[in-house]
């Protein structure tokens, strides 16, 4: 049977070069970087080299990178760390209505700590409006967090325009770039952000590693308190093999990104053109142009997304419905609700996220199997049969 994996936003296979780079740090160079003898100091040096590689990928300085255990941890550290360190200045923060659960629920936590949170609405494409952000700003606003791109609908936000509004008022700006770093070029200075979260997943690095960029010695309350690791901003022994993996993956991404963007965009365009030709009553969600190059998301009328995923799975196709975290927690995706998709249509969400390993043949295979699966599911749907009969 075919094996067509198109759920790269949920998880990616780690590249061979990355595994090879990481392996010696499990049992050969295994020392603790905080120890003072030669083994420790050599490993500390290796770790600092990785920090420089990750920094380079996003146009930052090495000392502005904190290694974390995931993109989710980076988001938690950014939101809670920046807000709790600044609460004497004010207790109001602003996030968009379509943030990842790790940002959203960090903001909800701050509400319990007597912060006020404004949730900015988005338009039909998922875009945050500059004017709305300006209007939401208050004298006591200390932090704004708007994601760089949304994994469920692919839309890329106008970050540099939004961050400019914050910069002129001295308000800290964070962006969750988990969906973009590794998928499109990202530069912290062009984006003009103070904090940026990234994850190993979009870089084909292992699970369990991420990073937070923080500008110019920005104050952060640690999320994980402990020793003086990571410039005192994140305690606990550093996860050296994972850090080496992230460094190697960042180095490779920096070289290969332009080719990857072209490759996945070509495939994505084939898929996006082919689906409405073969399936009636399907809506392409998210922004048609300002979106991740390897991202195609649809809502299909009279379909239950999870049932479709199972049907595709039987043909060896791996796709997603809504975000990975949301898929089991919620019936209707809050992101699709936020962009005004009616709840019934939102049920029929299917998301394809592509990578370098995907091929034209795989897209053709999906374009063959997807309509069959949709027809089968619709034939079982009383709603659809009523419509057809009408």
Minimum CB distance to a copy of itself, residue 31 (Å): 5
Q: Is the dihedral of CA 161, 162, 165, 167 positive or negative?
A: negative
CB-wise, 25 or 133, nearer to a copy of itself? 25
Bridge partners of residue 350, in order along the sequence: 298
By the 10 Å C-beta count (0-12 exposed, 13-18 middle, 19+ buried), 268 is classed as buried
Can you tell me which of 88, 255, 289, 328 binds a copy of itself, judged by CB under 8 A?
328
CB-wise, 219 or 385, nearer to a copy of itself? 219
Q: Among the candidate windows 11-19, 58-66, 295-303, 339-347, which touches a copy of itself by CB under 8 A? A: 11-19
When asked if residue 151 is in the footprint of a copy of itself (CB under 8 A), the reply is: no
CB-wise, 105 or 281, nearer to a copy of itself? 105
Tell me the pairing of strands 4-5 and 349-353.
unpaired
Cα 45 to Cα 29: distance, rounded to the nearest angstrom: 12
When asked if residue 325 is in the footprint of a copy of itself (CB under 8 A), the reply is: yes
When asked if residue 240 is in the footprint of a copy of itself (CB under 8 A), the reply is: yes
According to CB under 8 A, which residues from 19 to 78 bind a copy of itself?
19, 23, 26-28, 30-32, 34-40, 69-73, 75-76
Question: Which residue of the set 62, 85, 261, 325 is catalytic?
Answer: 325
According to CB under 8 A, which residues from 282 to 321 bind a copy of itself?
306, 309-310, 312-313, 318, 320-321
Provide the mask over 249-268, with x wherever binding to a copy of itself is found by CB under 8 A and - wherever it is not: --------------------
Cα 239 to Cα 140: distance, rounded to the nearest angstrom: 37
Is 166 one of the catalytic residues? no
Cite the active site residues: 325
């Amino acid at each position: 049977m075919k094996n067509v994996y198109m759920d790269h936003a949920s998880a990616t296979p780690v590249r061979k070069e990355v595994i090879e780079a990481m392996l010696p740090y499990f049992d050969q160079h295994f020392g603790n970087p905080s120890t003072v003898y030669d083994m420790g100091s050599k490993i500390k040096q290796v770790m600092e080299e990785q920090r420089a590689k990750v920094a380079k990928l996003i146009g930052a300085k090495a000392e502005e990178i904190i290694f974390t255990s995931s993109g989710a941890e980076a988001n938690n550290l950014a939101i809670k760390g920046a807000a709790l360190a600044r609460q004497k200045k004010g207790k109001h923060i602003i996030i968009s209505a379509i943030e990842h659960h790790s940002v959203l629920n960090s903001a909800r936590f701050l509400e319990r700590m007597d912060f006020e949170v404004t949730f900015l609405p988005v338009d039909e494409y998922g875009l945050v409006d500059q004017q709305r952000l300006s209007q939401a700003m208050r004298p006591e606003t200390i932090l704004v967090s708007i994601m760089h791109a949304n994994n469920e609908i692919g839309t890329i936000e106008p970050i540099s325009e939004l961050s400019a509004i914050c910069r002129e008022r001295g308000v800290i700006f964070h962006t969750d770039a988990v969906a973009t770093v590794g998928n499109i070029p990202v530069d912290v200075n062009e984006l003009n952000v103070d904090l940026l979260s990234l994850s190993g997943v979009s870089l084909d690095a292992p699970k369990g590693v991420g990073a937070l960029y923080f500008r110019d010695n920005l104050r952060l309350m640690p999320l994980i308190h402990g020793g003086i690791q990571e410039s005192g901003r994140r305690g606990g022994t550093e996860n050296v093999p994972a850090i080496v993996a992230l460094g190697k993956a960042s180095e490779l991404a920096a070289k290969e990104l332009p080719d990857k963007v072209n490759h996945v965009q070509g495939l994505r365009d084939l898929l996006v053109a082919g689906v409405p030709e073969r399936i009636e009553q399907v809506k392409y969600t998210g922004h048609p142009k300002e979106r991740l190059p390897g991202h195609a998301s649809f809502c299909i009328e009279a379909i239950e997304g999870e049932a479709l995923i199972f049907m595709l799975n039987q043909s060896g196709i791996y796709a997603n419905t809504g975000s990975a975290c949301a898929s089991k927690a919620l019936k209707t995706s809050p992101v699709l609700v936020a962009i005004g998709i009616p709840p019934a249509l939102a049920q029929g969400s299917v998301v394809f996220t592509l990578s370098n390993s995907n091929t034209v043949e795989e897209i053709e295979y999906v374009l063959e199997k997807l309509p069959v699966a949709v027809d089968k599911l619709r034939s079982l749907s009383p709603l659809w049969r009523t419509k057809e009969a009408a």
